[in-house]
């Protein structure tokens, strides 16, 4: 493995970064020359040339031209099996014909009416039918917005200020959610967030109900406990059996609102999300991603008495201040049409189970390849989500006995080289690294992924990274 100096080579693929060069990087750059050219132009438009932090990949990310089912094609014409699935939004895969038809139909009619419309009612009706806690629905434009409103509703309802969150869990990019997600685990405010925000956040560790009880006993200003329903990074740091019920019981005992962040798990783990799967009903739930069928959209849903704080008449009748909630693109007709069609399919066919079964097959074959190649990693996860833990062999792997930091892959260079190697072999992994599997992936995709994984491990060995 050698290090190249970008300054010495005007055509260096590293776009100004001094990174280790391997045969994997060379092969990736040869395969993706069109993406590299676009990345150079993008670097003049966007910070780091990207529009979402998780798309940051060196020497450059892929530029994709089109996608269908479980596959996407880059601007150089290469096909990839897609395991990032629209950041988890595409349970049905890309461009599912019925969803595309619904979008096309909505586009014909207009994209914004500045008024209510039938599709938003159909969409909300399906949400209410599928999600156990959803007595009322308020659409937003993203999961970040849904969580922001959910916390505001909880504060208004309880008359309290503070939010209990779990270290490492992600709820969007709003001020208070940025504390203790990727850094600032001591609870201090991140750059650009006022120090006062830190005073509203109480960070705790998952799977420790006694610690939570102590927090609630000592502080009577806790409005809400919010939890990523599958655990941090969609289950990379899983939650112990009984933890959700423990949260429910504590919230009931101490008069706090229980908020499940089901932005990823909603309509994936089961048609009714994690809450249906576990039989634990929160007071509020934030939804996004699959909810809007691959288009922008989110929702906060939950108990009528809590969402009634948004209701003009209830506010007037009870002489309480109404919580204000505009949002230009709330329930826009195109997202409503895509979302309603997606939820109709999820509610009427076994697509969640199908994706789960494919993911289970993939997890097993990845682990078989790892054993065969004597690589001390483990593929794990639940439902249709797969994570790779690098550095712990399968026979010693117990994620519930491991800490958040132990489960995070610290060798970021190895993660990068694995992702590039998989791209060279036609597979786009999710960046954690792992896979978000859709109902459109087939056994052929699993077999091709297995071959690509085996070839990638060989390439990593040749580059002396394993």
Q: Binders of ligand PLP among 273-332, rule CB under 6 A?
A: 288, 298
Q: How many whole angstroms separate alpha carbon 46 and alpha carbon 36?
A: 15
Rg of the chain over all Cα atoms, to the nearest angstrom: 23
Handedness of CA 237, 242, 244, 248 (dihedral sign): negative
CB < 8 Å & 24+ apart, contacts of 405-410:
407/236, 407/237, 408/236, 409/433
Q: Smallest gap, in angstroms, from Cβ of residue 169 to ligand PLP?
A: 7
Nearer to ligand PLP by C-beta: 148 or 358? Answer: 148
Q: How many whole angstroms separate alpha carbon 435 and alpha carbon 361?
A: 12
Q: Smallest gap, in angstroms, from Cβ of residue 238 to ligand PLP?
A: 14
Contacts of 383 (CB under 8 A, 6+ apart): 230, 235, 265, 268, 269, 277, 352, 355, 356, 359
Backbone angles phi, psi at 177, to 5 degrees: -75, -15
Handedness of CA 124, 129, 133, 136 (dihedral sign): positive
Q: Where are the alpha helices (DSSP H) in 64-117?
A: 85-88, 97-109
Nearer to ligand PLP by C-beta: 91 or 460? Answer: 91
Q: Binders of ligand PLP among 403-462, rule CB under 6 A?
A: none
Stretch that binds ligand PLP, among 30-38, 210-218, 260-268, 387-395 (CB under 6 A): 260-268
61 contributes a contact to ligand PLP by CB under 6 A = no
Stretch that binds ligand PLP, among 107-115, 259-267, 334-342, 391-399 (CB under 6 A): 259-267
Q: Is the separation of the CB atoms in 327 and 298 below 8 Å?
A: no
Q: Smallest gap, in angstroms, from Cβ of residue 152 to ligand PLP?
A: 15
Which of 82, 228, 356, 361 touches ligand PLP by CB under 6 A?
228
Q: Smallest gap, in angstroms, from Cβ of residue 230 to ligand PLP?
A: 8
C-alpha of 282 from chain center: 20
Q: How many whole angstroms separate alpha carbon 387 and alpha carbon 381?
A: 6
Stretch that binds ligand PLP, among 247-255, 258-266, 321-329, 396-404 (CB under 6 A): 258-266
231 contributes a contact to ligand PLP by CB under 6 A = no
Nearer to ligand PLP by C-beta: 278 or 463? Answer: 278
Which of 4, 48, 87, 197 touches ligand PLP by CB under 6 A?
87
The two tokens of residue 138 are 């308020």
Backbone angles phi, psi at 356, to 5 degrees: -60, -45
Q: How many whole angstroms separate alpha carbon 47 and alpha carbon 43?
A: 7
176 contributes a contact to ligand PLP by CB under 6 A = no
Q: Smallest gap, in angstroms, from Cβ of residue 143 to ligand PLP?
A: 2
Q: Smallest gap, in angstroms, from Cβ of residue 385 to ligand PLP?
A: 11
With CB atoms as reference, the residue minimizing the distance to ligand PLP is 143
Nearer to ligand PLP by C-beta: 62 or 264? Answer: 264
Neighbouring C-alpha atoms within 13 Å toward the C-beta of 188:
4
128 contributes a contact to ligand PLP by CB under 6 A = no
264 contributes a contact to ligand PLP by CB under 6 A = yes
Provide the 10 A C-beta neighbour count for residue 424: 23
Q: Smallest gap, in angstroms, from Cβ of residue 261 to ligand PLP?
A: 5
Q: How many whole angstroms separate alpha carbon 82 and alpha carbon 294?
A: 14
Mask: binding to ligand PLP, 131-160, rule CB under 6 A, as x and -?
Answer: -----------xxx--x-------------
361 contributes a contact to ligand PLP by CB under 6 A = no
Which of 170, 260, 267, 397 touches ligand PLP by CB under 6 A?
170
Provide the 10 A C-beta neighbour count for residue 111: 11
263 contributes a contact to ligand PLP by CB under 6 A = yes
172 contributes a contact to ligand PLP by CB under 6 A = yes
Interface ranges with ligand PLP (CB under 6 A): 87, 142-144, 147, 170-172, 228, 261, 263-264, 288, 298
């Amino acid at each position: 493995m050698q290090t190249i100096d970008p300054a010495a080579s005007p055509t260096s693929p590293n776009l100004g970064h001094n990174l280790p060069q391997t045969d994997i990087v060379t092969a990736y750059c040869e395969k993706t020359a069109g993406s590299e050219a676009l990345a150079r132009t993008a670097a003049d438009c966007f910070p780091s040339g990207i529009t979402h932090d998780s798309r940051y990949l060196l020497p450059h990310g892929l530029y994709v031209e089109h996608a269908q089912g479980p596959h996407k094609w880059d601007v150089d014409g290469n096909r990839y099996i897609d395991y990032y699935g629209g950041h988890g939004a595409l349970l049905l895969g890309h461009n599912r014909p019925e969803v595309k038809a619904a979008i096309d139909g909505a586009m014909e009619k207009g994209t914004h009416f500045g008024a209510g419309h039938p599709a938003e009612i159909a969409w909300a009706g399906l949400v209410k039918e599928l999600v156990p806690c959803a007595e009322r629905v308020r659409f937003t434009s993203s999961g970040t917005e849904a969580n922001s409103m959910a916390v505001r509703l909880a504060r208004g309802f309880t008359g309290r200020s503070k939010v209990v969150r779990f270290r490492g869990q992600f709820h969007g990019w709003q001020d208070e959610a940025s504390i203790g997600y990727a850094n600032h685990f001591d609870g201090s405010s991140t750059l650009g967030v006022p120090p006062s925000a830190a005073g509203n956040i109480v960070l705790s560790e998952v799977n420790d109900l006694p610690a939570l009880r102590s927090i609630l006993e000592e502080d009577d200003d806790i409005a809400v406990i919010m939890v990523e329903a599958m655990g941090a990074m969609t289950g990379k740091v899983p939650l112990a059996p009984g933890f959700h019920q423990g949260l429910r019981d504590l919230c009931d005992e101490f008069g706090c609102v229980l908020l499940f962040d089901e932005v990823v798990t909603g309509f994936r783990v089961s048609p009714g999300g994690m809450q249906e799967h576990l039989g634990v009903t929160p007071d509020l739930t934030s939804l996004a991603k699959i909810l809007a069928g691959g288009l922008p959209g989110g929702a906060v849903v939950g108990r009528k008495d809590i969402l009634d704080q948004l209701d003009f008449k209830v506010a007037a009748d009870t002489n309480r201040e109404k919580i204000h909630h505009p949002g230009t693109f709330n329930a826009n007709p195109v997202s409503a049409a895509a979302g309603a069609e997606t939820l109709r399919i999820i509610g009427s066919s076994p697509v969640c189970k199908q994706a789960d079964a494919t993911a289970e097959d993939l997890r097993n074959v990845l682990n078989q390849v790892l054993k065969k190649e004597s690589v001390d990693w483990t593929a794990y996860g639940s439902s249709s989500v797969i994570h790779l833990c690098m550095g712990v062999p399968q026979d010693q792997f117990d994620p519930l006995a491991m800490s958040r930091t132990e489960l995070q892959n610290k060798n970021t260079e190895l993660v990068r080289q694995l992702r590039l190697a998989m791209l060279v072999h036609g597979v786009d992994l999710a960046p954690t690294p792992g896979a978000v599997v859709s109902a459109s992936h087939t056994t052929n995709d699993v077999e091709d992924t297995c071959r690509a994984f085996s070839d990638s491990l060989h390439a990593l060995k040749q580059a002396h990274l394993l």
